[in-house]
Amino acid sequence: MRDFKNEIAALIAGLPAIVDAGLDVSEVFALIEIPPEASKGDYAFPCFRLSKALRKAPQQIAAELTATLADAGILDVAEGAADGAAKSGGNCVGRVVAESAYVNFFLRRDVFSEAVVNEVRVKSVDYGKGTIGNGRKVIVEFSSPNIAKPFHIGHIRSTVIGNAIEHIYSFLGYDTVRINHLGDYGTQFGKMIVAYRRWGNRADVERAPIQSLLSYYTKFHEEAALDPSLEDEAREVFAKLENGGEEELALWKWFREESLGEFGRVYKMLGIEFDSYAGESFYSDKMDRVTDELKAKGLLLESEGAQVVDLSQWDMPPALIRKSDGSTLYITRDIAAAIYRKEHYDFEKNIYVVASQQNLHFKQWFKVVELMGYDWASGCVHVPFGLVSLEDGVMSTREGRVVFLEDVLNRAVSQTREIIVEKNVSTDNIDETARQVGIGAVVFNELANNRIKDYVFSWDKVLNFEGETGPYVQYVHARAASVLRKAEADAVRAADPDTAIDGSYLGSDSAYELARLIYKFPAVIMDAGEKYEPSVVTRLIVDIAQTFNRFYHDEYILVDDAAEKIAKLALVYAVKQTVGNGLALLGIEAPERM
């Protein structure tokens, strides 16, 4: 993409006053700002820093710089043009205005819009794609539900945020590895096995695996409140499982397989795949290495029979590595997993998309890995997110108070189908469109706001398709597709980068604003990757969708003049492609008809 900010920086850096002040191009570039209001220009250069070197007031410097640019004849303003539009030519600046201590630059709309549209036409599905990753390995751990427990609405946050982050990093050129670190190990399996033996049967589990296992788990905690000896029995059973007890191991494997089958249906609905399902159990034979290494490096201390790493120097409680009974904890397994991943994948980044409740846990074990002498600890990143609660309180697996994610997705698809039939929406396949839009609505709802915010799950909110929602953005994509279909052969020409377009037809406020938003797309993808924040992509494509609707209502697109029609269709194509690329990064499909 043509770098307009850099062109302006070069223009400014060549002015005598800037040379006298001792600023080079990179310093000028760093000073240039984007005004908060479009009426102030596309870029602004503040003159405060020049005041001391030039011994003049910033306002005077801004006025003199503006006059110098005009005297140099660089702007080539068309005589009599109401908005100062420039004649055709290579320079990107159409107008410069001094305002207080700033020099405000207005780009030539024809040059800018033409460059943006051409870039999208050339790159197509790769528009916005980066090479910064250069094939380096990035691991993204996300979703990670617990075996034999419900895949509920609380899991959607890690699942869709992690999926979007993986897509973004892959789009930026990284070699990504998607890991589903299943919760398939721990004392809860002792409880599950005890509950199954006492109150369960195979037929019920095969008919409805998660619902049945959840009912057993809930029953266990109800009964354990009356008979605490059940907790001891569960610990004994888990110890047998850890030691390879044949019957316990067979039940554990069966619970795992049945659960993965249930989870797989949800992942298929969401279009999500994983490269590895290595969960906690995978690292059960790798933890002795961790404790041995901690001992050898003098980091492991004994405290009341347990083994810990003292982290008081960093204002954290001790990291409990082994309990007094010798059993390991999450932190031990996470350290073992990180070491394995580094040795197996040689990652540059190891990203964990896990709720903010676990902030301390991650800080602790990241510090332990660092103390072990592993410099790659800095590449381990915790991406926290806010929690989901129900309108009548928090979710509780123990109490059986959950909303199944599969039910949410199925209800969204069903309700979307009813809307399509009721409104007689044009589509080639009602069921397929209902699936795309219904699931898109749920995913978009999760990614629309900053990930760190807590929120209360509400059916009405998730299934509300009005306003800044997934269906709204999908509809704009379909509307753009409809315009291009109606144009037939002209649309094909407009999408072809070898077809020249006349940017002067893209100078209206709505057309220019569309071009400005589309131009931001590559930078927004970079920003989303750096911040691990998919919502910045969501925000941009909503803005593009809203601006396209203004353009659609303000402009005649399929006009008689061939040059004007091709230029406007090229912009419509750029909108469709950019919105489609953005939705894909979020893990949302983009219907052609809606």
DSSP string, 231-274: HHHHHHHHHHHHTT-HHHHHHHHHHHHHHHHHHHHHHHHHT---
pLDDT of residue 87: 40
pLDDT of residue 111: 94
Give domain status of residue 401, yes or no: no
Give domain status of residue 313, yes or no: no
Give domain status of residue 93, yes or no: yes
Res. 242: pLDDT tops 50: yes
Q: How far is CA 175 from CA 59, 133, 166, 170, 497, in A?
A: 50, 8, 10, 6, 29
| pLDDT tens-digit map of 29-39 | 999 999 999 89
Catalytic hit among 5, 87, 149, 568: 149
- DSSP state letter for 85: P
**pLDDT, mean over the chain:** 92
Q: What is the mean pLDDT of residues 545-564?
A: 96
Residue 460's contacts (CB-CB under 8 Å, 6 or more residues apart) are none
Residue 429's contacts (CB-CB under 8 Å, 6 or more residues apart) are none
Q: What is the CATH number of the domain that holds 57?
A: 3.30.1360.70
Distance CA 292, CA 585 (A): 43
Distance CA 516, CA 551 (A): 13
| pLDDT tens-digit map of 422-459 | 888 888 899 999 999 999 999 999 999 899 998 887 77
Give domain status of residue 150, yes or no: no
Give domain status of residue 191, yes or no: no
- DSSP state letter for 124: G
Active site residue 152: yes
Residue 26's contacts (CB-CB under 8 Å, 6 or more residues apart) are 9
Res. 56: pLDDT tops 60: yes
Cβ–Cβ < 8 Å for 413, 435: yes
Range of the domain at 22: 4-107
Active site residue 149: yes
Cβ–Cβ < 8 Å for 97, 550: no
Cβ–Cβ < 8 Å for 401, 221: no
Catalytic hit among 137, 155, 191, 349: 155
Confidence label for 81 from pLDDT (cuts 50, 70 and 90): very low
Confidence label for 396 from pLDDT (cuts 50, 70 and 90): low
Q: Which of 48-62, 131-145, 448-462 has the lowest mean pLDDT?
A: 448-462
Q: What is the mean pLDDT of residues 134-149?
A: 94
- Which of 101, 14, 89 minimizes the C-alpha distance to 64? 101
Distance CA 161, CA 158 (A): 5
- DSSP state letter for 312: G
Q: Which two tokens stand for residue 421?
A: 């039939």
Query: What sign does the dihedral 590-387-225-234 (CA atoms) show?
Result: positive
**Other Cβ atoms within 10 Å of 460 Cβ, number:** 7
Residue type, 194: V
pLDDT of residue 348: 97
pLDDT of residue 447: 95
Cβ–Cβ < 8 Å for 335, 365: yes
Q: Which two tokens stand for residue 218?
A: 């809930």
Give domain status of residue 62, yes or no: yes
Q: What is the mean pLDDT of residues 249-272?
A: 94
Give, in degrees to the nearest 5, the angle at Cα 276 between 270 and 282. Answer: 130
Q: Which of 61-75, 328-342, 530-544 has the lowest mean pLDDT?
A: 61-75
**Other Cβ atoms within 10 Å of 296 Cβ, number:** 10
Q: What is the mean pLDDT of residues 225-240?
A: 93
Q: What share of the chain is helix, strand, coil (3-state, %, to 5)?
A: 60, 10, 30
Give domain status of residue 195, yes or no: no
The strand pairing partners of 319, in sequence order, are 309
In the block, tokens 């062109």 appear at 7
Catalytic hit among 152, 181, 565, 568: 152
Alpha helices in 75-201, H assignment, sequence order: 109-123, 156-171, 188-199
User: Which of 243 and 481 is assigned the larger pLDDT?
Assistant: 481
Give domain status of residue 544, yes or no: no
Res. 76: pLDDT tops 70: no
Q: How far is CA 299 from CA 306, 310, 331, in A?
A: 13, 8, 15
Percent of the residues in the chain that have a pLDDT greater than 90, as a whole number: 80
Q: What is the tally of structural domains in the chain?
A: 1
